[in-house]
Amino acid sequence: MHDLQLLVDLHKGALRQGPGGDDETSRALSLAGIDRTQPLEIADIGCGTGASALVLARQLNAHITAVDFLQDFLDELTVRAERAGLADKITGVCASMESLPFEREQFDVIWSEGAIYNVGFTTGLKDWRPYLKPGGILVVSEITWTTDNRPLEIQQHWDSVYPEIATAAVKQEQLANSGYSMLGYFSLPQHCWLENYYDPMRAQFAELLSANDGSDAARAIVEAERHEIALYERYSDYFSYGVYIGRKTDAN
């Protein structure tokens, strides 16, 4: 079986495909100062199985266009939305975040948790901005250094997998330079990584291995995930996801 399908199988039964939490999604909503009664059009980019889309649909008077390039994740999202009685508020769209099928100024809010790194932070900020209405809100979580200095091992790891990692000060400057004014920032606490993401993932390892008869490909995926978890456990003092909340400024 192909690696991508193995990754999909490992992750599709989970409530989230990256670090985060319902309370943290709500916190970002509050910091954004979003009116919970006003009708809103929201895009959730890289939505996975719907962790944030479901919270937004539950708490807001909004229609959410939930985008992911993996149909299996969108299918799970549809089931979850139906079960929660929220299906009429969420539309899944299978598309790449690199070429979004949207109109200019279509959305009041663009939301993206644990996903913008797939295009890169600065590229995403720039490319997604036209889809926001004037004064629209961007909420995006992004891998961020939480200290000015760090051990070489973790520096080298991130330099190789995502060299755009930087401190919140640098990221906030990038937001400002990309046409957003900052409304708020916070860093995801540890439980968003461990209890909400890594623990449920870890619980799936045995099943993935047995479903694939311990194949080399399945073992390699489990090993890679274990390595990532070990790095987080060792170095969680030095990095996290930062949640950035900005407003589109008027300038073009």
Give the footprint of ligand SAH on residues 27-56 (CB under 6 A): 46-48, 51-52
Minimal distance, residue 60 CB to ligand SAH, in Å: 17
Q: Does the protein bind ligand SAH through residue 201 (CB under 6 A)?
A: no
User: For residues 69 and 235, which CB has a smaller minimum distance to ligand SAH in the complex?
Assistant: 69
Please tell me whether residue 97 binds ligand SAH under the rule CB under 6 A.
Answer: yes
How many residues interact with ligand SAH (rule CB under 6 A)? 20
Exposure string for 21-42, b = 16+ CB within 10 A, e = fewer: bbebbebbbebbebeeeeebbb
- Taking CB under 6 A as the criterion, the residue among 20, 21, 92, 124 binding ligand SAH is 20
CB 129 to ligand SAH: min, Å: 17
187 binds ligand SAH (CB under 6 A): no
Q: Taking CB under 6 A as the criterion, which residues in 129-158 touch ligand SAH?
A: none
Q: Does 246 bind ligand SAH (CB under 6 A)?
A: no
DSSP three-state, residue 155: helix
CA distance 50 to 19: 13
Contact set for ligand SAH, span 50-89 (CB under 6 A) = 51-52, 68-70, 73
In one letter, which amino acid is 12? K
How many Å from the N-terminal Cα to the C-terminal Cα in the chain? 46
- Angle 4-7-11 from CA coordinates, rounded to 5°: 140
Catalogue the E-assigned strands of the chain.
Answer: 40-45, 62-68, 90-94, 107-112, 132-145, 166-167, 180-187, 239-248
State the nearest-atom distance from the C-beta of 148 to ligand SAH, in Å: 27
Question: Could you tell me which of 46, 250, 238 has the C-alpha nearest to residue 144?
Answer: 238
If one asks whether residue 178 binds ligand SAH (CB under 6 A), the answer comes out as no
Interface with ligand SAH includes 192 (CB under 6 A)? no
Among 34, 54, 62, 114, binds ligand SAH (CB under 6 A): 114
Tell me if 18 contacts ligand SAH by CB under 6 A.
yes
Q: Which residues contact 26 (CB under 8 A, 6 or more apart)?
A: 55, 59
**In this chain, which stretch among 113-121, 130-138, 156-164, 215-223 interacts with ligand SAH, using CB under 6 A?**
113-121
Sign of CA dihedral 77, 78, 82, 86: positive
Distance CA(214)–CA(220), nearest Å, equals: 10
The residues binding ligand SAH (CB under 6 A) are 16-18, 20, 46-48, 51-52, 68-70, 73, 96-98, 113-115, 118
